[in-house]
Structure 1
Amino acid sequence: MNIGDRVRLVHGREEGIITKVLPNNIVEVEIEDGFRIPVKRNEAVVISELEQKVFKAPVASTPTFEPQRSIYDRVGPTTSDVLSNKGIYMAFVPVNDRELSQYIINNTDWDLPFMLSVGTDPHHKGLASGILKPKTQQKVQHVLVPEFENWGTFTFQAFYYRPAFMQLKQPLIKSIKFRINTFFKNKQKAPILNQEAHLFQLDIEDSVNPVKIEPEKIVEKMFEKSSSTPALVIPPKPAKVVDLHIEELSDDYLFMSNRQMLELQLSTFEKQFEAAIANGMDEIIFIHGVGNGVLRNELHKKLSGHKNVKYFEDSQKEKFGYGATKVKIK
């Protein structure tokens, strides 16, 4: 069994030509679709010249290949020549106001052998793995919004594969830990899923603006004294439960427009919430009532983008129904 011999694999239908002899009784066989595979000698049988003549098999010879050409060597590019090389996403689709479904989306023209894990070295936990076909998605798990801070760091790893001549692409490794002040603002229609989702592209380079860090100047600023700097005044500590019903905030509410009442309620909410943060409170409850839901929605919008909010949820449903919100402060 020598280089150039045409062989048939014992445990398969493939035939090919020996292109290399390797150690440990292994030979490299190039099969008809151009792939070269390592095979043990005892798993390959040389096809005799007589057999080749009877079955009109081609005589063993050195394989030749047509040179790979760029699409620009042809008359004009066709649709199949244009590859989608970018478009790998992690998406979170709302199930309800407390739960999200997590997906991995492959909107490229590549097969993606991948793995998704959560954690940090050396304690990673696998969440999903497999091969994402082009233009497909895979559901990973359900996550809870109140447990946002405990989601951890997700790490996505993938190779790019196509059954054709190609230029090798570097494997993709992306680690991402979400921040509450940006996560809920990033909402748009997810490709493939065609649903509104919190969408994050994994195969896009992070824009990095180099910043020159000068530790000495930072320390100087920290200890710099200025006579013009006013003394820090901490507002009074608010009650643990703040009632935002308009009749509790003003005696003249009967003469106020709906807009004026809402502005007063939101202003009171902001002052009391900032006071709770300044005084180191770990939680505070706001009673906003059910009504038409406008005040509740405005409060939740402000809370969802606030850097000091760990999470918020409906509070004391047996007493207030959906008319009160508890805020957990970082």
Structure 2
Amino acid sequence: MNIGDKVRLLRAKEQGVVSRFLPDGMIEIEIEDGFRIPVVRSELVLVSPLEAERLLKTSTYAPQKTVTPSAPAILSNQGVYLAFVPVNDREYTLHLINNTDWEVPYVLGEESAAVGGGVQFRGLHSGVLKAKSQQKMNDLYTHAKFEEWPTFVVQGLWFRAGKASLRAPLVKRFKARAATFFKNKTTVPVLLQPGFLTQLDAENQELSQQDPAPARPNQPKPTTIRPEDLKAEMLKPKSDTSAVSVERPSSVVDLHTEALLPKGQEGRGPADLLKLQLDTFEKALENAIASGMSDITFIHGVGSGSLRTELHKRLGKHPNVKFFEDAQKQKFGYGATKVTIK
């Protein structure tokens, strides 16, 4: 028995559609006029095809179609960060954050100019970051010596048990720049504390902030930054989180083909349109999880019910979905699902 199946009560005349599974063996069904009632699972029986045909003649429920291809799990593939969390008005602790569904074996070190030329690397930490976890590195960084902070180097691999696509190793360098560093104050994912954040696995990063060239002895020294200016900047409230590179989706995502293809369907068949809708759904959900959103709503419409059924099927198996339910009917009618993220 799945969400969207037509059922009837054994000891009553009511018929309806399964809308939600409740604890303790209870199932919520939606009967005529939009009323929902909880029923013990043992008191329900699936409606036969003949009964379903008769039911459709007297109700507004659309026939449910089952999408046969099995869909891969929706994964949060992006969301590895370096985070500097203020301890007080003078000091920071450095954290490595993994807000993805992958395990990340990592090495963290510092690069600095070596005596006599070249670059010297100093290893700091190594280990394995589990999915949705963080690791405190050290608390040796003060704003008074901000201009002396080293270039941080993070090397990582991607691991998931079982079948998974092969991903290129993560190798990123980060040199904090005062002009951009203090614009990134936000709530740190996983840690859920305010801090200064830079994403390591983003596809597009400013070159001045990410992957700088190794320091050389004959390079001109950077402009001196006064500690009092850094202190004032750190204590200044920040609301600009635009520098975080995960594309934060809208809180409401419209999956209607008219919204996804405003210039027309261009000869795409029903299978192509359904794939486009599911791909858009998966990408929006993945980015919502990676960017730390608490919930997101998908408008899928009523139609034949195949899209709604497939979305609910995938949401029911997703480890990062706390629960999902029909969105406000006053605003979206019967064609939207609200997803609450863990």
Give the TM-score, by structure 2 length. 0.39
- Greater C-alpha Rg: 1
TM-score by length of 1: 0.40
Q: Pick 1 or 2: higher relative contact order, CA cutoff 8 A, min separation 6.
A: 2
